[in-house]
Amino acid sequence: MSSQPPTALKNFRWLLIAIPIFLLITVGVYLIRKPPNTKIPPRSSGHPAPSKSTNLAPLALSPDWSKLDRFQNIISKETFLNRLEKIYTKDSTWKKWITIDDANNKAFFGNYQLVFSPQDKRPPGSLFEWKTRADLSDDRARPLEDLIIAIDPGHIGGDFAKIEEREHNHDDLTIREGTMTLETALILKPLLEKLGASAILVRSKLEPITKNQAQDFADPRLFYRTSEIRARANVINQTIKPDLVICLHFNGTGSKKLIPDQHFHIIINGTYTKGELAHEDERFEMLQRLLSGTITEEIPLAREVAASFNQRTKLPAYRYPNSSRASQNLANHPNLWARNLLANRLYQCPVIFIEPYVMNSIPFVSRYRKNREGIFKEYAQAVADGVARHYSFK
């Protein structure tokens, strides 16, 4: 008997090996060639999604801490702590996120280390360089020569005034804050130019700067406040790169009825609350302002603008309640207050945010009815005089 298996049996064994190999190759080829998931994701339309992380402010991106490298060995520990405690915070909650290492003359912001300098040196700007009044040439013919001033007419106005809740109706009158700020800005611009400045409007129409629309967000405030201010910040920080931003506003309360009195105050960035400091981006932006020293220009400038306003308008100073955790009086000046607003935090140069008049008050409405142009001229002139006075001093 031959020891070789019969041919049929040989073929059967071959099939036992070949079939599983064939199946494996077939499955393998299918898996490799399987088309990618073609399910179309929801249309993104290029709009930023609100940040999901609870440690970022709405629509914020995570900060790049290495951008603080430019402030290494620039500020003394004393100046750092003085600004942190007197301007940027009102209580000691900052200690949860900022640690001072006395032995090594350093601060820790989480993992990031900042080395203090034995003495204060001139700081760089955080995103771009801006001029202080000391940088201006002594022999300039006009006080604002060489200065770039961005004028930010607060809110959007026009048809957007209603959705942004900056519209008051009194009988036949409709008063819209964003429309009035633009009218004031259009008067202020040539006044500043006459004084030698290059004055640039952040918006020149009754339209938003942001490409977003109200319907992109469940909460319309994310459109007219957050997305709009972030878009303006991009224009200011990336294109205009000014030496100063003047934010024009008209105060107004939520009251539907006319209230008896008007008042006036100027807001400078500061007084970060515990909740704001808990946001990594806000903490970072606070440090950018603190380290670049915007406050050294903002306080003396705001003093001059307040003086010229007080001279012209005689409006009483507005006082925030002492119990307010989000505001504090600055430099013992009745008109100067520190508050952390999105605009005065994001615009990376000195910013003054002006809040005169009360647009739903009896005296304002009566004046508006008689001569609204007169209010805008008074406002613009007071700002121009104050700014000119500040930059005239050495």
By beta carbon distance, the residue nearest Zn ion is 249
Q: Tell me the window of 17-25, 153-161, 185-193, 316-324 that interacts with Zn ion (CB under 5 A).
A: 153-161
Query: Interface residues for Zn ion in 223-262 (CB under 5 A)?
Result: 249
The H or E element spanning position 353 is: strand 351-355
Q: How far is the CB of 251 from Zn ion (least distance, A)?
A: 7
Q: Tell me the window of 150-158, 167-175, 233-241, 329-337 that interacts with Zn ion (CB under 5 A).
A: 150-158
176 touches Zn ion by CB under 5 A: no
Residue among 101, 129, 86, 87 nearest 292 (CA): 129
Q: How far is the CB of 155 from Zn ion (least distance, A)?
A: 6
Residue among 211, 342, 209 nearest 281 (CA): 342
Q: How far is the CB of 182 from Zn ion (least distance, A)?
A: 12
Number of residues engaging Zn ion in binding (CB under 5 A): 2
386 touches Zn ion by CB under 5 A: no
Cα–Cα dist 280/55, whole Å:
6
Alpha helix locations (H) across the chain? 7-33, 77-83, 177-194, 221, 228-234, 274-277, 280-292, 295-313, 342-346, 362-392
Q: How far is the CB of 166 from Zn ion (least distance, A)?
A: 6
User: 267: which 2 tokens?
Assistant: 């807001």
Q: Tell me the window of 8-16, 154-162, 231-239, 367-375 that interacts with Zn ion (CB under 5 A).
A: 154-162
| Residue window 102-121: x/- pattern of binding to Zn ion, with contact defined by CB under 5 A | --------------------
The H or E element spanning position 107 is: strand 106-109
Q: Which is nearer to Zn ion, 158 or 300 (CB)?
A: 158
154 touches Zn ion by CB under 5 A: yes
Q: Round the CA-based radius of gyration of the chain to a whole number and report it.
A: 30
Residue among 352, 378, 345, 383 nearest 144 (CA): 383
DSSP three-state, residue 114: strand
Q: How far is the CB of 112 from Zn ion (least distance, A)?
A: 34
Query: Interface residues for Zn ion in 303-332 (CB under 5 A)?
Result: none
Q: Exposed, middle or buried by CB within 10 Å (0-12, 13-18, 19+), for 36?
A: exposed
Question: Please, which residues have CB within 8 angstroms of residue 344's CB and are 6 or more apart in sequence?
Answer: 247, 267, 268, 269, 351, 353
Q: How far is the CB of 45 from Zn ion (least distance, A)?
A: 29
Q: Which is nearer to Zn ion, 154 or 196 (CB)?
A: 154
Q: Tell me the window of 3-11, 146-154, 311-319, 358-366 that interacts with Zn ion (CB under 5 A).
A: 146-154
Q: Which is nearer to Zn ion, 249 or 289 (CB)?
A: 249
The H or E element spanning position 175 is: strand 173-176
Expressed in percent and rounded to 5, the helix, strand and coil fractions of the chain are 45, 15, 40
Q: Which is nearer to Zn ion, 224 or 284 (CB)?
A: 224
Residues that bind Zn ion (CB under 5 A): 154, 249
